[in-house]
Homo-oligomer: A and B are copies of this chain.
Amino acid sequence: MKKTQKISEEALKRFLRSKGLKATSDRVTLLAILKKSIKPLTIEALHTKCVSTINRATLYRNMAAMSQRDIVRKIEFRHGHAHYEFRQQEDHHHVVCVKCDRIEDVQDCSVSELIPKLSQKTNFFIQEHSLEFFGVCSSCKKI
């Protein structure tokens, strides 16, 4: 039990270092939380999950640093505050409930197939895309 935790913690540290970041305890904690989470988290959520030991400025700075290095992905939904997720899979999206803000994953996405045509048409070098769906979840449909 304790051993597995230690091992994965070491792995996270190595991962951070490999991306040119110091493996501070804050960052390891944040990454562990994000890795465990099945949905993208806000700064607020991350803060409370860290049992509030982390400073908000540091939190923002860390998310920015990890975002820049492609360790996490920053997602803007529409409530005006950013969400972050561990960047494991490429091409993976979300459905957001407009009533209760519940977020679920959407796996298969064929958008990447559109990109070659799009690059040609717009003359942009397209690096990334975000696809989010908005609707009403099963629980909120009943109300």
Contacts and interface: CB of A to CB of B under 8 A. Distances in A.
Interface of A: 74, 76-78, 80, 82, 95, 97-98, 104, 106, 109-111, 114-115, 118-119, 122-138, 141
A125 B109 CA distance: 18
B124 A95 contact: yes
Contacts of A82: 78, 80
Contact of A132 (B77, B80, B115, B129): B129
Contacts of A141: 125
Most buried by B among A77, A109, A128: A128
A25 to B, nearest CB: 28
A44 to B, nearest CB: 15
